[in-house]
Amino acid sequence: MNKLYSLLLRDLKSSVGLSWHLLVSQLVMPIVYIFVLGLTFSKVIGNITISGTTISYVQFLAVGVVFGQLMLSSSYAGAMVFFDKRMGMFEQILAGPFKRYEYFASKILSVLVQGLFGSFLVLIIASPLLIGLTPSPIGILYIFYSLVFASLFFGSLSLLISAYMKTDQTLNIVFNSILPPLTFISSIFYPLEAMPDVIKAIALANPLTYAADIARFGLYSTGSLTFPYAFLLLPLLSIIAFGLAMRAAYKISL
């Protein structure tokens, strides 16, 4: 346990100390999305009614931004495997008193911690828009459930990608090719009901859609086209992604 804690502490210090600008971006971009894009679009779109529940567009967007930021935070944390390989730290760590499973367990824990921390920051930023809301204890559990499994999925996806990439350029190209479509072909910015059928079908294969819909259900009691199977598919997809990531990680040669 002490070794796992040491590795986790190293990851967290590296993320904050070497990539402090990422922390700043976690504050700036949500502010732009929520208070510039969200409030502006609210004037055009007005309120949104989902399964009989009406909320403002900016409240709808605020939850989506939480998960967009969580996806980025989890991806950055998972990409640390690539940089450890590139800098020779992976070999040095495994040459010490650490086992391979301890190394990757610390990465998953780091993904969860950083993903949840990034989400917490966005929730603080969006808190003025949530005044008056009183989610039930069950609703809070739904929100936490979606945050944990979304962090696990995107962290595992990042680990999986990092295990196969050989250069910085390739890593950036792959991330920049995957993350924007996952963001925009989901229910982050607009409800599934408003999407064309083709886009809706693709969005239904995106775990980000299920995570955001479950959290909105917990916070606003809104339904979704993804219910009730969202509660099963999100953990299922997360566990599959985690299994594939661990399989790829154990094939990394020293």
Residue 141 confidence (pLDDT) above 60:
yes
Host domain of residue 22? 2-249
Flag whether 127 is in a domain.
yes
DSSP letter string, 163-191: HH--SHHHHHHHHHHHHHHHHHSSSSSS-
Flag whether 254 is in a domain.
no
For the entire predicted model, the pTM comes to 0.85
Residue 254 confidence (pLDDT) above 60:
no
Flag whether 213 is in a domain.
yes
Flag whether 226 is in a domain.
yes
Q: What does the longest C-alpha to C-alpha distance in the chain come to?
A: 59
Q: Which residues contact 173 (CB under 8 A, 6 or more apart)?
A: none
Q: What is the pLDDT of residue 20?
A: 60
> What tokens were used for 184?
């925009």
Flag whether 55 is in a domain.
yes
Average pLDDT of the residues in 188-205:
88
Split into its structural domains, the chain has a count of: 1
Residue 115 confidence (pLDDT) above 90:
no
